[in-house]
Amino acid sequence: MRTRPQLRDVTKPLGQAAVGALTIGILRAARHFDPTKTANLFARITRSIGPMMREQKTGRTNLTAAFPEKSPAEIETILAGVWDNLGRVGAEFAHLDHIWNYDPAQPEASSIEIDRRSYELFAQLRLDGKPALIFASHLANWELPALAAVAHGLDTAILYRRPNIASADRIVQDMRAVKMGTLIPAGRDAPLRLAEALKSGQHVGMLVDQYLTNGVEVTFFGRKTRANPMLARLLRQIECPIHGVRVIRLPGQGFRGELSEEVKPVRDAAGQIDIQGTMQAVTSVIEGWIREYPDQWLWLHRRWR
């Protein structure tokens, strides 16, 4: 008779295959339906089932710690928005190849808004002949910053995390590859590949707002946590401009894309890039973004441990 761990080892691949097949089926089916109606449907579903999941408790704990001045009712309202946003992200993923349709000649007809300064900064990055490091966070639809870079003519390499399920990874990578430049999966060789991309003049983009056990200590919403130092370590190898890009979800189905001014790195007494100080500067920018739109950030993971 097999023990319980042995049964888990046998059934886990079957379960992953089933989840992968379901993911593929949902994504393919969603492409055949109106994206707005599908996003509304997915949002209703996640708003309904989200509060029953264990991540609800994590989100509530995180929000209460980050915003001690907010009432329990305000916290719950933000959490409802978090689940709403997450459902929309899932629906929008099926339409990644055509969701970014900004036309500077007809901005009023676009579903994406870009302010004049951000447009100027995108043009500057495209024309200055330099590589750049571009960071983003899990705000609104966090897949869109990569689309924004390519849409504005930037030769870009994007660091991404593969799904744990191989079958789902294939379709996810196919969808991302359409308009996201060079995709580099997180792994042991990722820092080397990203450094090579910078040396070749590419713009390197990455999400930097998740907890990393072996990361550097930073302060986030007044509490100590750990951030992935990869961006600052790359900067120490290849000095170049740093910018943050965020996408804000607007009422209806539109978005606004914003590219920050250059974020100045912190240097030590010898003039070298200070890894911890630079990651704190980046983290502070992200905190400012989240304070403006707390219901659009993914509070459902453990940012403080």
- For 166-200, the pLDDT digits (tens) are 545 555 565 555 556 788 888 899 999 999 999 99
d(CA 209, CA 227): 7
Provide the percentage of residues in the chain whose pLDDT is more than 90.
60
pLDDT value, residue 28: 58
Residue 8: pLDDT band with limits 50, 70, 90: very low
Percent over 70 (pLDDT), the chain: 79
Smallest CA-to-CA distance from 230 within 258, 260, 209 is with 209
Task: Tell me how far apart the alpha carbons of residues 106 and 38 are, in angstroms, rounded to a whole number.
Answer: 26
- CA 204 from centre of chain: 14
Q: Do the strands 132-136 and 182-185 form a parallel or antiparallel pair, or are they unpaired? A: unpaired
For 109-127, what is the mean pLDDT?
A: 87
Round to whole Å and give the CA distance between 107 and 258. 15
How far apart CA 261 and CA 238 sit, in angstroms, is: 19
| Averaged pLDDT of the chain | 84
Query: Closest by alpha carbon to 151, among 103, 109, 107?
Result: 103
The identity of residue 150, as a single letter, is V
pLDDT value for 37: 86
pLDDT at residue 113 above 80?
A: yes
Contact status, residue 41 vs residue 91, Cβ threshold 8 Å:
yes
pLDDT per position as a tens digit, 10-47: 344 444 444 444 455 555 555 656 778 888 988 999 99
Contacts of residue 305, defined as CB under 8 A and 6 or more positions apart, other chains included, come to 211, 213, 225, 226
**pLDDT band for position 6 (50/70/90)?**
very low
Residue 120, pLDDT score? 93
- Per-residue pLDDT at 144: 87
Give the β-pairing of 112-114 and 255-259.
Answer: parallel
Domain extent listing, the chain: 7-94, 107-292
Local confidence band at 48 (pLDDT 50, 70, 90 cut-offs): very high
In 10 A of CB 5, how many CB atoms? 8
Q: What is the mean pLDDT of residues 236-243?
A: 95
Q: Mean of the pLDDT values across residues 203-230?
A: 95
> Which pLDDT belongs to residue 11?
41
Is pLDDT larger for residue 170 or for residue 213?
A: 213
Reported confidence tier of residue 226, pLDDT bands at 50, 70, 90: very high
